[in-house]
Structures are given as structure tokens and as C-alpha cells.
Amino acid sequence: MSDPTASEQPRRPGPIGGDMAAIVFGLARRARLTSLMKRYDSTLVLAVFAFVNGLIAIGVMSLIAFVTGEPFIFPSLGPTAFLLFYTPLVVAACPRNTICGHAIGAGAGYLSLVIFGLTNAPPALATSVTGARVGAAALSLGLTSGVMVLARVPHPPAGATTLIVSLGIFHEPRQLVILMLAVVLLVVQGFVINRLAGIPYPVWSPGHAET
């Protein structure tokens, strides 16, 4: 017997673009929240969902950071989270691009620190911006952009990740490992929430989703 609510599935994009309306509808249908299913295209409902989803996604990472005392939270996770829950089906948001993009950014940032002799220098924001720091920041962003294009794994938030490293906020290899672990955990959250909503978020790369 067919699902009587199947015909109600919202067309993409929603009132503000992206797939957020479809995600809200899918989650509401799974939870059998009939009233919410009828208001999935309300801008207010989508704003509340975005607030709660962002609160939970980054709140979980912040809690892990608090419990472990490790840097599981950093600025570029914010735009990555928004991509995963606003436009989860664009290529830049898939697990391959998200994980590889941040890995490239972290690697390029650390390589720039090594080249300019800044691996043991204090963060630029805690002291001052020197010529070497300018060079490291510029090189890291250039490398990140170029390598992501060559590897065909564009992920815009990785540009922030590489500056976090090249500016010395994260400058130890151990911190970079934790950074990547945090990215993987966020991707897992994105996968679970999108799949629960019926959004075919890919397992790795676009076109390889397992429904």
C-alpha cells in the first residue's frame, strides 16, 4: 500500500532554497508530527529548525571538547555544518569533499608553517602578524585552493581550516588529527540526520548513495 503522505513530499528547493524544507518534512513525517508536516515550508519553522540543528550539531562537538579537553571545536566547523544541513546534496557537502577538503586545508596549513619556520611560534592573534606569518597564510590558502581543484574535492570551509593552522591557532600534528576527527564526527551527524529525513545523502561521493 502506498504512503498517503508521499505526494506531499516538498519539491526542491524550498522557500529559501537548499534542501532544508525537505529535511524538516522528512523528519516530521518520520516522527508523525502532522501539524509540522503541513508547515514544513514556513520560513519561521525552517529558522527554528536551523537554530536547533546548529545548536545540537556544534553543541555535541563542544561537549566532546569540554569532556576531553581537546580542540574538537573550531570556526570552520560552522560553515561545514550549514552546508551539510542546508544543501546536503551539493557536491561540496558530500563526505568525500568535506573530509578531503579539510584534510587538504590542514596539510597545506602545516606545510606552510614548516616552510616559514613557524611550527613553534605563538598564534598570530596572540602576538602580531609578521612577514613570515603573512607568507604562511597566503601560501596555505593558495595551496588549499589549488590542490582541492586538482583533486576535484572543493569544500569552501576548508579555506578557513587552512588559515586556522597557518595563523598558528592549531600548530601541532596532534591537534590536526583531532581536527580531522571532529570533521568526521560532524559528517556522521549529517549522514544520520539527512538519512532519517529521507534525503539520499551519499555514503562517500555523489552518485554512490545507498538507499
Q: List, for residues 47-82, the tens digit of each pLDDT value.
A: 999 999 899 999 999 999 999 999 899 999 999 999
Give 84's Cβ-side CA count (13 Å radius): 31
Q: Report pLDDT for 127.
A: 81
Task: Give the confidence band of 133 by pLDDT, cuts at 50, 70, 90.
Answer: very high
pTM: 0.90
Q: Report pLDDT for 3.
A: 52
Using the predicted structure, report yes or no on whether residue 125 has a pLDDT greater than 90.
no
Percent pLDDT > 90 in the chain is 75
Task: Give the confidence band of 35 by pLDDT, cuts at 50, 70, 90.
Answer: confident
Q: List, for residues 161-194, the tens digit of each pLDDT value.
A: 999 999 999 999 999 999 999 999 999 999 999 9
Rounded mean pLDDT of 12-33?
87
Angle of CA points 95, 100, 101, to nearest 5°: 100
- Sketch the domain layout of the chain as residue ranges: 6-196
Cis peptide preceding 13, ω within 30 of 0: yes
Cβ atoms of 165 and 188 closer than 8 Å:
no
